Structure 1
Amino acid sequence: MPVRVADVASPSQFPGVTTGNNLPSPCSLLSVGQEFSGTQNVSSLQKDEAWRVNVRILGCDLDHGYLCGTMEALNVPMADTPVVTFWEGEIVDTKNNTFFTGKWGATAEDDIKHWTKFPSFAPLLSQVEIDGGKSLDLSNYPYIFMRWKEQYFVNVGCDCGLTIAGFYYVCFSCSDGSVNGFYYDPNSSPFQKLELKPTNNGRSGFSFSTYELQ
């Protein structure tokens, strides 16, 4: 939720990467109720600023490559209270979703520019450039790649001075639950970095298909 402004190794040589279309393995740190805390850097040429951010997972369906949750920004300068948004995510599993976004104004070139910001993506690059990664098997890969798209503001109006027009490219580490992301929106500062760590008070709850946020 930013302020609006104007030779790689082949996949088969990297542990956990093969060809095929198997779903990512279940990860206990990517589960309903899990919470994360960290920062989003919203620096631009005019300022250097980082917001404190909390994320909570409300639903996760690996079979369909879907998850959703809330994101809370705590120290937004133009807001009197923390700003909460509801987001929905696509898990890149090469079955339901590939590395090519195909919407939200992102081109294949935009996708490559953002995915290559993650060092863990390097072994996948050559295959992704060919077919978006459709032939990759990421079931045992130690990282899960996702896109998070904020859908609406929960506790403030859309005139709060923030935009949710873009989306996040996200890389999740299965080993420690850390989250790194980059926000994409042509009308916002580029490559705003999201850095989150799992907290100890999550991982409780259940998945459901209808959400009511107040």
Structure 2
Amino acid sequence: LAVLIRGQEANAVQPSPPSCSLLTAGRCFAGTQNVSSLQKDEAWKVNVRIHGCDIEQGYLCGTMEALNVPLADTPVVTFWEGEIVDAKNYTFFTGKWEASAEDDVRHWSKFPSFTPLLSQIEADGGKSVDLSNYPYIFMRWKEQYFVNVGV
């Protein structure tokens, strides 16, 4: 799951890597998760809560509650761990979960804010991209387990 958060403090003086009040424990976000397969195309309403974040290590974790999952009587809650794309700890290339570089570029290209970075990503894999003052935070989340199964 690739995620993008738009920062609101683009003019603030920040250390590298940038501090971010958007990614602190307890912060909540609401949105949709687009689910697509050969048989369906759905958008689930989701609520996300950040439980932990280590900007220096490029790590974060939290829970995601999906509200309108077909065939589920109650919201589905999962725990996820994430990687913040910072060119120091993690680049735009996943390098695991059977994701190819082409898959990653195709996926990140769905975000208009990725487009200005594309040529530099293709040139060196994004290792020299300076995201410290970029007004967006790119991250990938991997759901680890269900929280409320059997409850």
Q: TM-score, normalised by structure 1?
A: 0.60
CA distance in 1, matches of 2:132, 2:41: 38
CA distance in 2, matches of 1:100, 1:112: 8
Structure 2 distance, partners of 1:50, 1:136, is 32
For the pair 1:33 / 2:26, whether they are aligned, the reply is yes
Q: Report the structure number with the largest CA radius of gyration.
A: 1
For 1:144, the equivalent position in structure 2 comes to 137
Where does residue 204 of structure 1 map in the other structure?
none
Whole-angstrom distance in 2 between the partners of 1:102 and 1:49 = 27
Structure 2 distance, partners of 1:49, 1:136, is: 34
Partner of residue 69, structure 1: 62
Q: Are the counterparts in 2 of residues 23 and 95 from structure 1 also a CA contact under 8 Å?
A: no
Tell me: CA distance 1:23–1:131, structure 2 relative to 1, closer, same or farther (3 Å): farther
Question: Which residue of the partner structure matches residue 46 of structure 2?
Answer: 53
User: Do residues 154 (structure 1) and 147 (structure 2) align?
Assistant: yes
Structure that is richer in helix per residue? 2
Map 1:101-112 to 2 at 5 A.
Answer: 101-112=94-105
Structure 1 runs (4+) greater than 6 angstroms displaced: none
- Kept in 2, the 8 Å contact 1:43–1:49? The answer is yes
By how many angstroms is 1:51 displaced? 1.6
Residue 45 of structure 1 and its aligned partner are, at CA, apart by 5.6
SS at match of 1:103: coil
- For the pair 1:92 / 2:85, whether they are aligned, the reply is yes
TM-score by length of 2: 0.83
- Structure 2: 5+ residue stretches without partners: 2-9
Unaligned stretches of 5+ in structure 1?
Answer: 2-14, 17-21, 158-213
Is 2:126 the partner of 1:130?
no
Change (3 A) 1:98 1:48: closer
Range moving further from structure 2, 59-68 or 30-39: 30-39
* Deviation sequence 1:41-94 (CA, Å, 0-9, x none): 335564453222110000010000000000011121211211110000000110
**Inter-partner Cα distance in structure 1 for 2:22 and 2:34:** 24
Q: How many residues matched? A: 140
SS at 1:29's partner residue?
Answer: helix
Root mean square deviation of aligned Cα: 2.3
Deviation at residue 23 of structure 1 after TM alignment: 4.1
